[in-house]
Amino acid sequence: MLVDEIKFGESVNIEFKREVPQKSEKYIKSVIAFANTAGGKIVIGIDDEKHEIVGVDKDGVFKIIDNITNTISDMCCPQIFPNIGVNTIDGKSVIVINIYPGANRPYYIKSLGKETGTYIRVSGTSRPADEAVLKDLELQGTHRSFDEMVCVEHKYDAGKAEQLCGAIKRYMVEAAKSNSEKEKIKDVTVQNLINWGVVRNMDGTLLPTNAFVLLTDNVFPFAKIQCALFKGTERVVFIDKRDFEGPLYEQIEEAYDFVLKHINLGAEIKDLVRNEAYELPTEAIREAIVNAVTHRNFLDRACVQVAVYDDRVEVTSPGMLFGGLTIEQIKEGGSKIRNRCIAEVFSRMKIIESWGTGIKRMYSSCKEYGIREPELLEIGDSFRVNLYRPSYRGASSGSSRSLSKSSPKSSLKSSLKSSLKSSPKDLNSTQQKIMELLRKNPRVTQVEMAEIIKISRRAVQKNIKELVEKDMVERVGSDRKGYWKIKE
């Protein structure tokens, strides 16, 4: 209700004015900003400092509304159609101007022009849109996405297209739940890439789109994931830092492995069976990274960042929520796709779901673990997900290696009994799991390892390569009929 909104004060989608400003631009900026983002309302007749209801002149209220309507019509381009009404609170009249998310973005103040007169809503204030945001709004207004545009600086490469087709099929096979499903999966062809918008066929000439580049050699300097482990709970002291480049789907796997390497892997003993589990649900970690990459604004000269602190894992994606979405809407399954071609390919690869269920699954997996729910934030013109680590107890040592006393996946009765310790050669948790599988079955395949550990086959290949380089294992015999020999 409006009364409750007034009590809570101004926010990203509500603004107060004691009276209509004599200089119209002071409130037209907010009208423009609301139309360019998720919408909002301006309430006139409220003291914006004291949050007191002062009201407007009851006798002249309809004249005020007419003036506001005309001013918005005259000053805004494209035209904005507000819904303006009068509410009575404590016997006083207030005017409520409702602005809805616009479909013809960018909206701007006509007299200032598009470059300087475009505003967006950031943390409860109306601010000028920078170049990257303006270009993103222009794409939204023409119903196009950056990734489907032809990348004029590059030529189509048949070899890279073949590699991408192979990678897509490999992911599809790995995601299949049964051998019969795997056998039914057909080869991915260049025609599929054309159908999905990754490659453009212009009168028989094949042209790469931005999506094609992002999914192959990816030469865009800011289209990468920066990962870091920090000491304590603030971004001050680095313990480990990595930048992951290359095809987007590989970046996701590498960033995911980075997080798993730096959070706790514990075990609970139940009915004499040792069950291993990370302190955070791996599904939630993966979903946060996937969403950050899939829905980021590639026009923004910033990278996706994944930061591990003592108390949380923080995933930040460049770009505000797309298409007027709000945090409340995405919590309920609302979804609008900024990068349509990438989302289409990721959907085929089973990296993402196509029905906007990712955020809800993130919440449900944390609830199942019995840990704090994820925190979703709009930080300036970026979007952030915080996953809070249950192992953190506010210890002054700043160590990120402390173990939670409660099991992340069961009732209060079960507890973490032990954790996997690093070997003398400092294996990460995935490599430790692979070594355990090889001890049990030296002929286990990479596909089987990926299914058991619940990671991609590429991640298995990467970690086995590192085990070979560390002289921990070696391959004896052929790829088909050979086996793995442990050299510990």
- Confidence check: pLDDT of 376 > 50: yes
Res 36: pLDDT: 96
CB 226 within 8 A of CB 292: no
Residues paired with residue 306 on neighbouring β-strands, in sequence order: 227, 315
* Residue 153, C-beta contacts closer than 8 angstroms, at least 6 positions apart: none
* Residue 341 contacts residue 198 (beta carbons within 8 Å): yes
- The pLDDT assigned to 415 comes to 30
Residue 241, number of CB atoms within 10 A of its CB: 12
Helix (H) or strand (E) holding 284: helix 282-294
Q: Which helix (H) or strand (E) holds 432?
A: helix 429-440
Please give the pLDDT value at position 126.
93
Confidence of residue 271 (pLDDT cuts 50, 70, 90): low
Q: Which residues contact 9 (CB under 8 A, 6 or more apart)?
A: 16, 51
Confidence (pLDDT) at 393: 76
Q: What residue type is assigned to position 293 of the chain? A: V
Dihedral sign from CA coordinates of 98, 104, 109, 115: positive
Quick one: pLDDT at residue 269?
Answer: 54
Confidence band of 267 (pLDDT split at 50, 70, 90): low
Instruction: For the chain, give the percent of residues with pLDDT over 70.
Output: 90
Query: Average pLDDT for residues 177-189, to the nearest whole number?
Result: 93
Distance CA(10)–CA(47), nearest Å, equals: 11
Contact in structure between 283 and 359 (CB atoms under 8 Å): no
Query: What are the residues whose beta carbons fall under 8 Å from the beta carbon of 394, sequence distance 6 or more?
Result: 311
Q: Which of 49-53, 127-131, 358-362, 378-382 has the lowest mean pLDDT?
A: 49-53
Task: Read off the pLDDT of residues 306-340 as tens digits, 9 standing for 90 and up.
Answer: 999 999 999 999 999 998 899 999 998 888 899 99
Distance CA 187, CA 212 (A): 18
User: 88 versus 407: which is more confidently predicted?
Assistant: 88
- Contact status, residue 61 vs residue 86, Cβ threshold 8 Å: yes
Model confidence pLDDT, tens digit, residues 435-481: 888 888 888 888 788 878 878 778 888 889 888 888 888 888 777 66
One DSSP character per residue, 96-142 reads EEEEPPPSSPPPEETTTHHHHHBEEEETTEEEE--HHHHHHHHHHHT
State phi, psi for 75 to the nearest 5 degrees: -95, -20
For the chain, which domains are there? Answer: 2-141 (3.30.950.30), 146-215 (no CATH), 225-419 (3.30.565.60), 421-488 (1.10.10.10)
- Pairing verdict, β 418-419 and 265-270: antiparallel
Confidence (pLDDT) at 424: 42
Q: Tell me the whole-structure pTM to 2 decimals.
A: 0.75
Is residue 11 within 8 A of residue 42, CB to CB? The reply is: no
Q: What is the mean pLDDT of the chain?
A: 88
Give 487's Cβ-side CA count (13 Å radius): 12
pLDDT value for 274? 56
- β partners of residue 83: 98
pLDDT of amino acid 355: 67
Q: What is the mean pLDDT of residues 161-178?
A: 94
Q: Tell me the per-residue pLDDT of 414-437, one tens digit each, with 9 for 90 and over.
A: 332 333 333 445 788 888 889 888
**Which phi and psi (to 5°) does residue 19 adopt?**
-155, 170
| Averaged pLDDT for residues 116-125 | 91
Query: Residue 163 burial (CB < 10 Å; 0-12/13-18/19+)?
Result: middle
Which phi and psi (to 5°) does residue 146 adopt?
Answer: -55, -40
Of the candidates 276, 268, 224, the one whose C-alpha atom is nearest the C-alpha of residue 430 is 276
When mean pLDDT is compared over 186-190, 359-363, 380-384, the highest value belongs to 186-190
Highest mean pLDDT among 252-261, 328-337, 404-413, 459-468: 252-261
Separation in Å, CA 316 to CA 136, 263, 381: 18, 18, 11
Checking if the pLDDT of 404 tops 90, the result is no
> Is a pLDDT exceeding 50 seen at residue 402?
no
